[in-house]
Amino acid sequence: MLEIRNLQVKLQDEDKQILKGVDLTVEPGKVHAIMGPNGSGKSTLSYVLSGRDGYEVTGGSAHLDGADLLEMEPEDRAAAGLFLAFQYPVEIPGVGNMTFLRTALNAQRKARGEPEVSAGDFLKLVREKAKTLKIDAEMLKRPVNVGFSGGEKKRNEILQMAILEPTMCILDETDSGLDVDAMRLVADGVNALRSEGRGFLVITHYQRLLDHIRPDVVHIMADGRIIKTGGPDLALEVEKNGYADILAEAL
């Protein structure tokens, strides 16, 4: 599904190499976690995959279901099934959450040559998805993320994911700024979306989130590379001993 080969990325405006050859394959139905210390390149990987400006790919490749992601505009990557849940969801005053969701859904459907969803059907869809994430009607009416608490913003990200139904979901530190209850709510939302045809890449600092979203594979990233890959136990090892041992081992 997602195939990343020897991906090398530097900052566009600075001579600073961030990713130094990342190899990663996410199979359909699997949840991969990426852990690693600050500055290891985890968030950069998520941004480069989703097409944010400011980065320059200096080598390697990234494909989603065979399509070259790096050649596509961000909106085309979304239509192709990629979704990034932001670490810091953006506030957009004056644009209602419902308008935003419907615009996004219909834009993707249009790009895929599918018919637009009617206002009535859309309302039904949103209500159903919002309920499970405990997002009330008031939150849906408000402008996108404006005045939302940290937890509400993250739940709103998962709501978008549930409505857009991507095939490849990247969660960038979705647990940051969440209390235990909010994290469980978000994790439940993600778990509800796990399915045979859908892959997940969960980026996190802490093992905590992985108690709720059980990964199939855990990768440790450091200094722009994946230095170790293992099963769920690897996350527990990090939680117990920190990154120091793994980093030393990799050298």
Partner 1 sequence: MAAPKRSDDLRAEATAARLAAVTVPTGGFTGAARAAARARLEAMGLPGRRDEYWRYTDPTALNAAEAPEAAVFTAEESPIFGAVDRITLVFSDGVFDAAASDDPSLAGVEIARLAEAGRADIHWAKDLYGVLEARGQEPVARPHAALNTAAAADGILIRVTGKAAKPVHLVYRHASVQSDAILHHCLRIEPGAELTLLESGPAAARFNKVLEVDVAAGGRFHHIRAQGRDHERRAITHIFARVGEGALFKSFTMTANGRMTRNECVIEIAGNDAVAHVAGAALGDGASGAFHHDDTVFVTHAAERCESRQVFKKVLKNGATGVFQGKILVKPGAQKTDGYQISQSLLLDEDSQFLAKPELEIYADDVKCSHGSTTGAIDETALFYLRSRGVPREDATSLLILSFLADAIAEIEDDRLAEEIVSRLEAWLARRKV
Stretch that binds partner 1, among 7-15, 98-106, 118-126, 185-193 (CB under 8 A): 98-106
Alpha helix stretches (DSSP H) within the chain: 42-50, 74-79, 97-111, 119-132, 137-141, 150-164, 180-193, 208-212, 233-241, 244-250
Taking CB under 8 A as the criterion, the residue among 164, 168, 178, 234 binding partner 1 is 164
Give the C-alpha separation, 209 to 235, whole Å. 10
Which residue in 190, 203, 185 sits closest to 37, CA to CA? 203
Stretch that binds partner 1, among 82-90, 176-184, 190-198, 243-251 (CB under 8 A): 82-90
Looking from the CA of 27 toward its CB, the CA atoms found within 13 Å total 5
Residue among 99 and 241 whose Cβ is closer to partner 1 = 99
Strands of the sheet containing 67-68, edge to edge, are 17-26, 2-11, 55-64, 67-68
Quick check: 134 and 151 in contact, CB under 8 A? no
Q: Does 94 bind partner 1 (CB under 8 A)?
A: yes
Taking CB under 8 A as the criterion, the residue among 21, 37, 100, 188 binding partner 1 is 100
Taking CB under 8 A as the criterion, the residue among 108, 156, 204, 207 binding partner 1 is 108
Residue 34 CB, shortest distance to partner 1, in Å, is 19
Contacts (CB under 8 A) with partner 1, residues 109-148: 111, 143
Residue among 41 and 166 whose Cβ is closer to partner 1 = 166
Instruction: Output helix, strand, coil percentages for the chain, rounded to the nearest 5.
Output: 40, 30, 30
Quick check: 218 and 50 in contact, CB under 8 A? no
Q: Is 136 helix (H, G, I), strand (E, B) or coil?
A: coil
Contacts (CB under 8 A) with partner 1, residues 42-71: 50-53
Residue among 89 and 215 whose Cβ is closer to partner 1 = 89
Taking CB under 8 A as the criterion, the residue among 70, 104, 140, 236 binding partner 1 is 104
Q: Does 33 bind partner 1 (CB under 8 A)?
A: no
| Tokens coding 99 | 């308008």
Question: Which residue ranges make up the site for partner 1 (CB under 8 A)?
Answer: 50-53, 73-75, 77-79, 83-84, 86, 89-90, 92-95, 100, 103-105, 107-108, 111, 143, 160, 164
